Amino acid sequence: MHVSGTVAAIVAVVGIVVGGAGVAIGAIAWVRVRRLRDAQRSLVGGGRKDLVEFAVSLQARIDDLHKAVDEVASGLARVDRRVDDTVSNTAIVRYDAYEDTGGHQSGSLALLDASRTGIVLTAIQGRDYARIYLKEIDRGKPAVALSPEEQKAVERAMGR
C-alpha cells in the first residue's frame, strides 16, 4: 500500500496537532494536580503525605479527646459526690425560748448536706443559764423529736 505525499503530510499534521493537544492537556492536568497537592499540603501540614494519613491522625486525636472527656466526666462525678457529702445547707432560727426574756437570745442552727443529713445545734438562753442541745438528722429523720424552732431551721436549710 502506497500513500501519497499529500496524505502523508495531512496525517503528519493531524498527528502533530493531536500530539500538541495531548501535551497541552497533560500540562494543564499537571498544573491542576500541582495546585491540588499544594492545597492539600497546606491543609494537611506537618509533613503528612496525603489526606488518608491526615484523616487517620485526626481520628487518633479525636479518640484521645474522647478519653480525656471521659476522664474529666468521671472526675466531675467524684467531685459531685464529695460536694453532696459536705455541709451545704444551713439555717439559723432565733427566738425567745422563755416569755421573760427578750432579744431573741436563743437559737437553732441546722447544718445539713444534700441528702438532709447533719445536725441541729440549739442554744437555749435563760436569765441565769444557757443550755446547748445537739440533735442528729439522718436523711431528714431526726434521732429524737425536734422542737418547732429546730424543725423550722431544718426546713429553711433545705429551702422549703
Instruction: Report the half-sphere exposure of 131 (CA within 13 A, side-chain side).
Output: 5
Q: What is the pLDDT of residue 103?
A: 77
By C-alpha distance, which of 137, 78, 73, 144 is closest to 110? 137
Residue 40, burial from CB neighbour count under 10 angstroms (0-12, 13-18, 19+): middle
Phi, psi of 138 (to 5 degrees): -125, 110
- Find the domain containing 57 and state its range: 42-84
pTM above 0.75, yes or no: no
The helix/strand/coil state of 113 is coil
> Which among 24, 50, 84 is the end of a domain?
84
Number of domains in the chain: 2
Q: Which residues pair with 131 in a beta bridge?
A: 124
- Say whether both 97 and 80 belong to one domain: no
Judge contact between 108 and 93, C-beta under 8 A. Answer: yes
pLDDT per residue over 30-70, tens digit each?
Answer: 999 998 888 777 776 656 667 777 788 889 999 999 999 99
Least confident of 2-6, 21-25, 111-115, 154-158: 2-6
The helix/strand/coil state of 94 is strand
Dihedral (C-alpha) 73, 77, 80, 84: value to the nearest 10 degrees? 170
- Say whether both 77 and 95 belong to one domain: no
Dist CA 31 CA 51 (whole Å): 19
